[in-house]
Structure formats: C-alpha cells, structure tokens
Amino acid sequence: MSHSQSSACLIHASRLPCTPRTLKHDVLTTTMLHCGSRIAKLFRSPVTPPFNFPRRLLIKFEFSSLFQAKGLNTSDEESDEFLPWLERKARTKISSMLWIGKSAYGRSLFASENIRTGDCILKVPYSVEITPDNLLPKIRAILSDKIGTVSKLAIILLVERKMGQSSGWAPYICCLPQHGEIHSTIFWSEYELNMICQSSVYQETVNQKAKIEKDFAAVVPALQQFPDLESITLQDFMCAYFSVTSRAWESTKGLSLIPFTDFMNHDGGSKSIVLFDDDKMFSEVIADRNYAPGEECAISRGRSFITLRSSPIRICKSFYKGGSY
C-alpha cells in the first residue's frame, strides 16, 4: 500500500487501520480501476496472463492526520511465532532479514538488519503455499467444473478455519482478517452504498457482490454434503473470498496464497515483485533499494509476471540498479 499522504483503500482491500465508514463530500478524491491488481499481476512479462482476473477498484481517500501518520514499527506479539512456525513447516529458512510488526497500515514486514539493493529478503517454498491442489479430494470430487480458482481457494480457507487449532495452517488462518476487520465496500449496508450511488464505486461494488453471491450459490451444494461445512454462510464465504482476492498471487502454476509474503504492504513507488523459480520450486522477493533496520519493506503490484528461468537474479539485480521499467 502506498505510503503517500493520500492512503489507498481497495474495494478488495488490504489491511487498513479502523476508519469511519461514513463518506463525506470531501473524502472521495480519486477513483481508479485496476484489472487484476495484486491478484497476480506481480509479474513482468509482456505476455498476456491466461486468466481473466477480477476487477478491483481503487478508491483514494483523504484520511485525517490520525490515519495519515505512519506510526512506529511496533511489535506484533500474536505474530512472533509465525515465521518460526512457517520455517518449521517448510523445513528451511525463509527470511533472516525481516520481522513481522505493525504499522499504521496493519500487519507489515520490517527490515531486521541493513538490506542492500538486490538482496533476496525472503524465499518461500511452493510446499508452504496454498493452491487449489490443497483442496480436500472429497470436496474437489463433487465441485462443479465451473467453480473458479478464487472460490476454490476460499473454500480451502473456510475448511481450515472450521478445523480450528487442529488445522495444519492454523497460525496462518489466524492472521487473516475476519468480518468486522475488513474495510471493503462489499460489506457495506444498502444505506451506506446509497451514499455513493452516483459513483462508479457503487456499480463496481454491486457487480462484485453479485458475482460472489453467484459463486457461493454454486459451491453450496458441495458444502452441504459435509456436516462440518454446511453451516458456512454467505458472509463467511465473502470474508474468505476477500482474503483470496486481496492476497493471492499468480504464477506459471496458477493462483496461490503465499504466507509471510502477503504481509508486505504495497507501495506504488516500489519495484520489488514476487519472482518464481519453477525449477527449485520457491518464490522470492528481491529488495529494490536499501533498507535500514526497522524500516518497513514494501512491494509493488507490478504489471505482469516473471520467472527466474526467464530472468535470472543477476539480471534482476542489474535491472533494479538501472532504474525505471
């Protein structure tokens, strides 16, 4: 998320501080449409991705000085054990340069030491990334072929949340936002939406809600086959759907959730992107500039995708030093 004075609030949005949900006439300043956004256009190949990504609407708000302040990088106690847990699960080191903390934008990643341009700041094995392959076979077997990847990932999150602490992904699931913590217009009441009925935000929200409701109706028959899942509501599905569309990344293997990496906030000025190595089966992020200890590390939404095979790290390091793209 950009660190500019005008903080960005996404319709399928990232982690923001609690803000009033009442819009004043001088609050809405700019509306911009982004196709795909974070849901994977964090690649840089000129080749058109083979997926039609959900449209995500970016709304710029002018927040009060309370919300404009970046704040200090305070410790996030509930996340202290997250990285050690993920590294145990991955059976490898993921990062020694970053730690999880909280900024004014929510959970964030900060430099734990001096970071230089071109340094690999994190490396996550595919084995601890959540993809549609993680869907339980018994559920996959009865899902309609028309169910999309986003819905499949949403179902995985719902199943894991229902399992509670017995879930192998419990520490990650606990870090995902729940209803009441999500700042997105898809959760606004009809009264609140009517306040912006003259804007494109309104129609975009209506369209997104209609799509989610249609997707939920398509998965309900499958969920009803399992007693532990039949109590899942539309609101539950919307929360999980939100988590996927605001966090998922696209690679050559398809859509995936990448724990730890998705704690990085977006900055429009950053050139860091997620790189994928299909040979060694991991994704990683390369620093696009120097960071001092305690400084928040950000990532870019990017424009399309890149793999390490097509663009080796040495090229990326040279590229970052070279400037614009």
pLDDT tens-digit series, residues 7-23: 333 333 333 333 333 33
Instruction: Show Cβ contacts of residue 216 under 8 Å, excluding neighbours closer than 6 positions.
Output: 234, 237, 238
> Looking at residues 71-95, what average pLDDT do you find?
82
| pLDDT value of residue 256 | 94
274, 299 Cβ separation under 8 angstroms: yes
Of 289 and 305, the structure prediction assigns the larger pLDDT to 289
State percent of the chain over pLDDT 90: 56
| pLDDT value of residue 77 | 64
Cα separation, 45 vs 189, whole angstroms: 40
187, 196 Cβ separation under 8 angstroms: no
222-233 burial, b if ≥16 CB within 10 A, otherwise e? bbeeeeebeebe
> Looking at residues 183-200, what average pLDDT do you find?
91
Reported in sequence order, the residue ranges of 5-104 that DSSP labels E, i.e. its strands, are 8-10, 28-35, 55-61, 74-75, 98-103
Strand, helix or coil at 128?
Answer: helix
| pLDDT value of residue 76 | 56
Cα separation, 64 vs 184, whole angstroms: 19
- Measuring CA to CA, how many Å separate 133 from each of 104, 136, 149, 174, 319? 35, 8, 10, 21, 34
Cα separation, 229 vs 138, whole angstroms: 13
Of 12 and 289, the structure prediction assigns the larger pLDDT to 289
pLDDT-derived band of residue 319, with 50, 70 and 90 as boundaries? very low
Taking the domain 8-322, which CATH number applies? 3.90.1410.10
Could you tell me how far CA 206 lies from the centroid of its own chain?
22
pLDDT tens-digit series, residues 208-260: 999 999 999 999 999 999 998 989 999 999 999 999 998 999 887 789 999 99
> Looking at residues 292-300, what average pLDDT do you find?
94
| pTM, full prediction | 0.72
Tokens describing residue 260 = 């730890």
pLDDT of residue 93 exceeding 80: yes
Of 78 and 226, the structure prediction assigns the larger pLDDT to 226
DSSP 89-103: HHTS---SSEEEEEE
| Amino acid symbol at 31 | T
Q: How many residues does the chain have?
A: 325
Of 5 and 208, the structure prediction assigns the larger pLDDT to 208
pLDDT-derived band of residue 75, with 50, 70 and 90 as boundaries? low
Strand, helix or coil at 249?
Answer: strand
Tokens describing residue 191 = 């009264």
| Amino acid symbol at 242 | F
Rg of the Cα trace of the chain? 19
pLDDT tens-digit series, residues 53-67: 333 333 333 222 233
Mean pLDDT, the chain, integer: 75
Helix axes 200-223, 234-247, angle to 10 degrees: 120
| pLDDT value of residue 30 | 30
pLDDT tens-digit series, residues 105-161: 788 999 999 999 999 999 999 999 999 999 999 999 999 888 999 999 999 999 999
